[in-house]
Amino acid sequence: MKKASRRSSDDLRPEYDLAALGPGVRGKYAKLLGGTTLVALQPEVAVAFPTATAVNEALRAVLKATAVVRRSAAVPKRSSYRRSRSTT
């Protein structure tokens, strides 16, 4: 016996009434995020950071550590202007 033909994936079932659904609202839940940035984590990273709070704490620690390194590397050098003025 032959199998029944499948509908294409873009066909809507007859029990759905599009008029009753109304118009879609773009960005309906965007206000819940409140200006946050979403980033997709790789599965092995997501295992190490189970919550958003854990990710944020780790990133803040990295930023703090790199700020210390950047500050110590940015020790101002003596300007060549002073050196040349004092020798004359």
Nearest to 58 by CA among 74, 39, 73, 72: 39
Structural domain of residue 52, as residue ranges? 42-75
| Structural domain includes residue 58 | yes
Q: What is the pLDDT of residues 35-62, one digit of tens each?
A: 777 888 899 999 999 898 999 999 999 9
DSSP 8-state assignment for residue 12: P
| Structural domain includes residue 66 | yes
Residue 58 neighbours by CB distance under 10 Å: 13
Question: What confidence score (pLDDT) does residue 85 get?
Answer: 56
| Structural domain includes residue 47 | yes
| Structural domain includes residue 65 | yes
**pLDDT of 12 higher than 60:** yes
Confidence of residue 76 (pLDDT cuts 50, 70, 90): low
Sign of CA dihedral 81, 83, 85, 88: negative
pTM (two decimals): 0.43
Integer Cα distance of 22 and 13 in angstroms:
17
The number of folded domains in the chain is 1
| Structural domain includes residue 49 | yes
